A and B are shown apart, each in its own frame.
Chain A
Amino acid sequence: DIQMTQSPSSLSVSVGDRVTIACRASQSISNYLNWYQQKPGKAPQLLISAASSLQGGVPSRFSGSGSGTDFTLTISSLQPEDFATYYCQQSSTTPHTFGGGTKVEIK
């Protein structure tokens, strides 16, 4: 299985801060990398697919980059509604695997 490692596992930030979350795959996955946002009690919601393609309706302050094994999710200016847990997921091969998540909390 391809292992997905996210860092950090949590971070405390303020509204307006720039946030960067890293995701590393245990082997090359090209750009088959997706990012999801999950709020408490809710299902994950797709934010970014193919490493950098923003889903419809997702604010432009979210962006994704990377290819191969190293990927980044960036929130340019954190808003109150962005406090959530973020997961990366690879679709290069089955079994599909997820990162352990990064919880973004209010400082």
Chain B
Amino acid sequence: QVQLRESGPGLVKPSLTLSLTCAVSGGSISSGDYYWSWIRQYPGKGLEWIGYIYHNGNTFYKPYLKSRVTISVDTSKNQFSLKLSAVTAADTAVYYCARYRAKPAANFDYWGQGTLVTVSS
């Protein structure tokens, strides 16, 4: 059973960089046709895909976030990370890491429990 767990600061000051890590257990991050994803959920409901990374390092980002987002993978630690720079209050959300299974059916099949990140001074 694959499990994902997010970790990182719950409070980030405006203009600084949000950094989160997702540890993957129960399977290798390097195997299979999977993309390792970050998704956030704003207070109140909306879900937003931020981007994902393949184990070879190829990344795909939501275009309007691309200038501020970096997703990286550490296969030796079986984990991947999110950095979001120049944060504002609008980046306050619950951040989820998730596995995207590309084939045979493209979907987010495993999710972490989520971590709330608040941007405030």
Contact = CB atoms under 8 A, between A and B. Distances in A.
Contacts, number: 54
B47 A87 contact: yes
A100 interface: yes
A98 B98 CA distance: 14
B106 interface: yes
B96 interface: yes
Interface string B42-85: 00011111000000000010110000000000000000000000
A46 B107 contact: yes
A97 to B, nearest CB: 7
Contact of B49 (A34, A42, A45, A98): A98
Contacts of B46: 98, 100-101
Contacts of B90: none
A50 B105 CA distance: 6
A85 B111 CA distance: 16
Interface residues of A, number: 24
B96 A101 contact: no
A49 B111 contact: no
Contacts of A91: 106-107
Nearest to A31: B105
A95 B62 contact: yes
18 contacts: A34-B105, A36-B108, A43-B96, A43-B98, A43-B112, A43-B114, A44-B111, A46-B109, A49-B106, A55-B109, A85-B45, A89-B47, A91-B106, A96-B49, A96-B100, A97-B49, A98-B46, A100-B46
Interface of A: 1, 32, 34, 36, 42-46, 49-50, 53, 55, 85, 87, 89, 91, 94-98, 100-101
Interface of B: 45-49, 60, 62-63, 96, 98, 100, 105-109, 111-114
Given A49-B105, A89-B108, A101-B47, 5 more contacts: A36-B108, A44-B108, A95-B62, A96-B100, A100-B46
